[in-house]
């Protein structure tokens, strides 16, 4: 699989007047994620490769033009969380290109119990992610040794509020395309600077949604 052109399963779910395009990792993809949905913070854990893959997928998702496209980390790619409880599925989408209300989430939850077969494999283009990462690396390595991002990649108060909540046993994470690109680049900062076996990113800046790279992710 080309790193800048990840391949995903495409399925669809029609509910009411909407047809959702559902993207999931392919069955053969080795990436695994552990998800802990707390009252204040949702933590997503994976190995370093998995976190970098998530960063790239969020970047690609932010640019998709098709309406009502959802990226889901589904049961096939989840492992138990740190207290050995089942990890909930995670639903990402860029708003306002995608919207899903309470009724749609209930339908999605039912669908996830018995998902339809993959309709086809699609390729997501993410080459721009590497260019943005290179720009950030150059900025941070410049004469002033800045630890932050270039202004255009920072969180902006002008962007609409993000949605980060647990609904019907699923974690729902949505942001504007610009916000989602910032999340992607912040997750991409994870580099294996381990502390007690973990390296942590706080993509949303409010600690409602954290991504942890771990040295060893239990698989069962």
Q: How far is CA 49 from the centre of its chain?
A: 13
CB–CB of 55/104 below 8 Å?
no
SS3 content of the chain, % helix, strand, coil (to 5): 25, 30, 45
User: Given this model, what pLDDT does residue 5 score?
Assistant: 86
Nearest residue to 53 via CA among 207, 167, 188: 188
List b or e across 161-199, with b for residues whose CB sees 16 or more CB atoms inside 10 angstroms.
Answer: ebbbeebeebbbbbbbbbbbbbbbbbbbbbeeeeeeeeb
How does pLDDT run across 145-181, given as a tens digit for each residue? 666 788 888 888 889 999 999 999 999 999 999 999 9
Positions in the chain short of pLDDT 50: none
User: Given this model, what pLDDT does residue 147 score?
Assistant: 67
User: Given this model, what pLDDT does residue 39 score?
Assistant: 82
How does pLDDT run across 75-102, given as a tens digit for each residue? 999 999 888 899 999 999 999 999 999 9
* Residues near 104 by beta carbon (within 8 Å), at least 6 away in sequence: 15, 16, 18, 20
Q: In the 8-state DSSP scheme, what is residue 195?
A: B
User: Given this model, what pLDDT does residue 3 score?
Assistant: 67
- Distance in angstroms (rounded) separating the CA atoms of residues 139 and 167: 39
User: Given this model, what pLDDT does residue 211 score?
Assistant: 97
> What SS3 state is found at 163?
strand
Type and span of the H or E element at 10: strand 7-15
List b or e across 91-128, with b for residues whose CB sees 16 or more CB atoms inside 10 angstroms.
Answer: bbbbbebbebeeebbebbbebbeebeeeeeeeebebee
């Amino acid at each position: 699989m080309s790193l800048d052109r990840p391949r995903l399963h495409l399925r669809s779910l029609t509910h009411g007047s909407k047809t959702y395009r559902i993207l999931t990792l392919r069955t053969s993809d080795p990436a695994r994620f552990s998800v802990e949905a707390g009252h204040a913070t949702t933590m997503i854990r994976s190995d370093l490769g998995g976190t970098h893959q998530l960063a790239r997928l969020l970047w690609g998702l932010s640019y998709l033009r098709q309406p009502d496209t959802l990226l889901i980390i589904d049961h096939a790619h989840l492992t138990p969380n740190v207290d050995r409880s089942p990890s909930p599925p995670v639903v990402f989408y860029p708003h306002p290109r995608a919207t899903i209300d309470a009724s749609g989430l209930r339908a999605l939850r039912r669908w996830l119990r018995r998902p339809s077969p993959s309709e086809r494999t699609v390729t997501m283009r993410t080459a721009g992610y590497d260019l943005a990462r290179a720009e950030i690396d150059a900025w941070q390595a410049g004469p002033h040794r800045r630890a932050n991002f270039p202004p255009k990649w920072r969180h902006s108060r002008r962007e609409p509020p993000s949605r980060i909540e647990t609904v019907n046993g699923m974690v729902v994470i949505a942001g504007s395309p610009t916000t989602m690109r910032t999340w992607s680049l912040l997750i991409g900062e994870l580099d294996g600077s381990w502390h007690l076996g973990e390296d942590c990113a706080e993509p949303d800046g409010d600690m409602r949604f954290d991504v942890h790279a771990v040295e060893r992710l239990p698989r069962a």
